[in-house]
Amino acid sequence: MAEITASMVKELREKTDAPMMECKKALTEAAGDMEKAEEILRVKLGNKAAKASARVAAEGIVGTFLSPDGKLAAIIEVNCETDFVAKNEDFLAFTRELASLVASGNPADVTALSAMPLSGKTVDQVRTELVGRIGENLSIRRFTRIASAGRVAQYIHGGSKIGVLVDLVGGDENLAKDLAMHVAAAKPVALSKDQVPETLIQKERDVAAAKAAEQGKAADIAQKMVEGSVQKFLKEVTLLGQPFVKDDKQTVEQLLKARGASVSSFVLYVVGEGIEKKTTDFAAEVAAQAQAAMQR
C-alpha cells in the first residue's frame, strides 16, 4: 500500500478544498494516485466544490447573535462570491449557526471555530459540503464575541451588509440601539482618540504638512495647521468625537455624559471591506480565449 504523506494530503486539500480527513481517505482509496483521489472527492462532494477556494469571496453577510438579556453577543462575517448566494437560505442559516456557536463556544480564532462540532460534523466539513451544493467559495472571515457587564445592542443594515454591536454601560435599551445605528451610519474607526491607529494619524499629518508646504506657509504656521487638521480628523473618526446622528448639536461623548452612560466597546463589520475584488473585462477575456484557440 502506498504511503500517504502529510504533504500529499495538503496538496489534495488545496486542490479540492475538502476536509483533511476526507483527503486522506480518498488518497488511501486511490492508493496514492492524486488525480484518482481528486475524482473520488469530486464524486463525494460534488464537482462544484473542486478548486472553488481559488476564487475571491468578497460578497456575503454579517450575522449576529444576542442573548435575551443583552449580556452575551457575537458578530461574524461570512463571505461568498456573489450577492445572489448571499441571499441563499442555506448560506443564511449557516451564518446564523456560526454566530450562535461563537457566542456559546468562544473560539480563539477562525481556525478554532472551523474545527468546532456542528450538526455532527466540524464547521469546516459543513462549510465544504455547502460549497459543493451552492457552487461558490465560502469563507469565514472574522468574528467578535462580547460578554458585557452592561448591555449589548445590535444593528444590521443594508441586507446584512453592515453589522454593529455596541456594548453600553448605563443608559437604557433605546440609547444602546441609537448608538448602534449611529455607528452604522457614521462608521467610526475607534472609540476614542487614543485608540486610533498611529498609522492613520501619521497619514493625516503627512497630508496636512504637504498642503501647508504647497501653500508656502511659515514653519510655525504650518505646524499649527497640521495639528489643527489632525485634531479635526480625530473628531471625525472617533465615536466619542462625532456629532450624534440624531442631534448633531452634541457629540456622542456629550450625549453619554448627559445620560450617565459610557460605551465599553463597539464592533463594526462592513462586508468585503478591505478585500480586493477581482474585476473581469468580459470582452478581453473572450478575445484571449479566441486567440488561444487559434494558436492550438
% of the chain at pLDDT higher than 90: 60
CA-angle at 128, arms to 125 and 132, nearest 5°: 135
Range 172-180 average pLDDT = 95
63-84 b/e with 16+ CB inside 10 Å = b?
bbbbeeebebbbbbbbbbbeee
* pLDDT score of 286: 45
> Is the model more confident about 19 or about 276?
19
Q: Is the pLDDT of residue 192 over 80?
A: yes
What are the tens digits of pLDDT across the range 15-43? Answer: 776 778 888 888 999 999 988 888 787 66
The predicted structure's pLDDT at residue 48: 44
Helical axes 34-45 vs 20-29, angle rounded to 10°: 120
More confident residue, 254 or 294: 254
The per-residue pLDDT for range 216-251, each reduced to its tens digit, is 888 888 889 889 999 999 999 999 999 999 999 999
pLDDT at residue 157 in the model:
93
pLDDT band at 45 (very low <50, low <70, confident <90, very high): low
| pLDDT score for 274 | 75
For residue 206, how far is the Cα from the chain centroid? 29
Q: What is the full DSSP assignment across 223-279? A: HHHHHHHHHHHHHHHBTTTSEETTEEEEEHHHHHHHTT-EEEEEEEEETTTTPPPP-
* 202-224 mean pLDDT: 86
Q: How confident is the model at residue 208 (pLDDT cuts 50, 70, 90)?
A: confident
Rg (CA), the chain: 25
**127-to-78, 80, 140, 265 alpha-carbon distances in Å:** 10, 11, 9, 30
On the question of pLDDT at 253 being above 70, the answer is: yes
- How does the average pLDDT of the chain come out, rounded? 87
Poorest-confidence range of 30-44, 107-121, 144-158? 30-44
Give the contacts of 94 (CB within 8 A, at least 6 positions apart). Answer: 78, 126, 127, 130, 138
Decide if pLDDT at 49 tops 70: no
Lowest mean pLDDT across 8-22, 65-79, 186-200, 280-294: 280-294
| Res. 175 pLDDT band, cuts 50 70 90 | very high
Q: What are phi and psi of 266, to 5 degrees?
A: -145, 160
Amino acid, single-letter form, for residue 19: P
